């Protein structure tokens, strides 16, 4: 079962997303990120066994499968994640990735910390915006155990000072603002039948002018959505509100899980920013750091920091 901690990710992958950052990447990870991974794949033996940890709907696993197919390799690729995954749904919205799903074995609803593979099972373990979400010491101990002797572990972690994180910080402030203005509490209370439709409608009508001003000022899609909901609600009679109850529930769920996902991103980024040597547990687990560095996307945007480890013979 996907735990409560994974609900926001399960919900997100059910939307058919390919990467965890669809606002920043319309398809799969490309540019300097894809180039980094391509160099890693080039160094692997033809039938290498790969594990993509925290794989999501398989963006990185798909990059590996694509490389394997194009270069006539026969990589064996496993993708692992704590959330419920929907790679088939992803393939419907990203047909260009569909052909590469076949060789990937997805193991979902399985936190890395409780997954079990035989020791030495993988030649290459990889992670894109992933392993930093786990318990670092427990994840490190497992990665070191699952790697074959001489095997490598490479990861690209979020960069705490990236434009993506800046945008997420602004979005977090917008959620907080919606909460303070009473929109999220009023919606939750009406859905739980703690207030009646009239009170809810009145509170949405009262919120409209301030929402309109703030959505314009912050040029925020989130606040614009909330404004649309408030305007529509204020115009409805009670019967129409009852008929549209599922839409209200959907919007409430979208707000709740979107906020939880954002908090998860920011929690991880803040933890990394607070400890520049956050990856120390991987060294303590016996891996050797071969190199690390920044990835500048399109030559400009700090898209992440890579770390390349090896398990020595």
Ligand X SMILES: C[S@@+](CC[C@H](N)C(=O)[O-])C[C@H]1O[C@@H](n2cnc3c(N)ncnc32)[C@H](O)[C@@H]1O
Minimal CB distance to ligand X: which residue? 56
Minimum CB separation from ligand X for residue 83, in Å?
Answer: 4
Minimum CB separation from ligand X for residue 91, in Å?
Answer: 14
CA gyration radius, the chain: 22
By C-beta, is 222 or 268 nearer to ligand X? 268
What is the size of the binding site for ligand X (CB under 6 A)?
20
Stretch that binds ligand X, among 76-84, 181-189, 251-259, 289-297 (CB under 6 A): 76-84
Orientation angle between helical segments 163-180 and 197-218, nearest 10 degrees: 150
Name the token pair of 203: 């509170």
Q: How many CB atoms lie within 10 A of CB 240?
A: 12
By C-beta, is 20 or 181 nearer to ligand X? 20
Minimum CB separation from ligand X for residue 127, in Å?
Answer: 7
One of 55, 154, 203, 269 touching ligand X (CB under 6 A): 55
Minimum CB separation from ligand X for residue 94, in Å?
Answer: 12
Binding status of residue 56 toward ligand X by CB under 6 A = yes
Site for ligand X in 112-171 (CB under 6 A): 112-113, 128-130, 133-134
Contact 203, 186 (CB under 8 A): yes
Site for ligand X in 79-98 (CB under 6 A): 81-83
Minimum CB separation from ligand X for residue 57, in Å?
Answer: 7
Contact 159, 129 (CB under 8 A): no
By C-beta, is 130 or 151 nearer to ligand X? 130
Site for ligand X in 235-264 (CB under 6 A): none
By C-beta, is 12 or 190 nearer to ligand X? 12
Binding status of residue 28 toward ligand X by CB under 6 A = no
Name the token pair of 90: 């992803």
By C-beta, is 80 or 183 nearer to ligand X? 80
Minimum CB separation from ligand X for residue 31, in Å?
Answer: 14
By C-beta, is 51 or 241 nearer to ligand X? 51
Binding status of residue 59 toward ligand X by CB under 6 A = yes
Minimum CB separation from ligand X for residue 84, in Å?
Answer: 9
Minimum CB separation from ligand X for residue 241, in Å?
Answer: 34
Stretch that binds ligand X, among 52-60, 63-71, 161-169, 252-260 (CB under 6 A): 52-60
Identify the CA nearest to 309 among candidates 174, 188, 146: 146
Q: What are the residues binding ligand X (CB under 6 A)?
A: 6, 9, 19-20, 54-56, 59-60, 81-83, 111-113, 128-130, 133-134
């Amino acid at each position: 079962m996907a735990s409560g901690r994974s609900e926001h990710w399960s919900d997100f992958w059910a939307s058919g997303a390919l990467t965890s950052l669809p606002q920043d990447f319309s398809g799969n990870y490309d540019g300097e990120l894809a180039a980094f991974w391509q160099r890693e794949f080039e160094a692997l033996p033809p039938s290498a066994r790969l594990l993509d940890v925290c794989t999501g709907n398989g963006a990185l696993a798909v990059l590996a499968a694509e490389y394997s197919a194009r270069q006539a390799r026969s990589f064996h690729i496993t993708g692992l994640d704590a959330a419920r995954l929907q790679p088939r749904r992803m393939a419907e919205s990203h047909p260009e990735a569909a052909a590469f799903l076949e060789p990937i074995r997805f193991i979902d609803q399985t936190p890395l910390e409780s997954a079990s593979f035989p020791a030495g099972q993988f030649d290459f373990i990889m992670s894109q915006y992933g392993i930093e979400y786990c318990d670092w010491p427990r994840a490190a101990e497992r990665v070191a155990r699952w790697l074959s002797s001489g095997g490598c572990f490479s990861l690209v972690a979020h960069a705490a000072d990236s434009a993506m994180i800046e945008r997420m910080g602004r979005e977090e402030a917008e959620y907080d603002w919606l909460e303070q203005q009473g929109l999220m509490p009023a919606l939750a209370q009406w859905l739980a039948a703690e207030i009646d439709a009239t009170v809810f409608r009145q509170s949405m009508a009262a919120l409209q002018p301030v929402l309109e001003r703030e959505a314009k000022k912050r040029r925020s899609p989130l606040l614009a959505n909330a404004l649309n909901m408030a305007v529509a609600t204020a115009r409805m009679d009670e019967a129409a509100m009852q008929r549209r109850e599922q839409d209200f529930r959907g919007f409430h769920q979208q707000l709740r899980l979107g906020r939880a996902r954002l908090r998860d991103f920011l929690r991880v980024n803040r933890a990394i920013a607070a400890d520049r040597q956050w990856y120390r547990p991987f060294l303590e687990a016996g891996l050797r750091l071969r190199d690390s560095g920044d990835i500048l996307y399109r030559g400009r945007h700090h898209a992440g920091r890579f770390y390349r480890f090896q398990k020595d013979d």
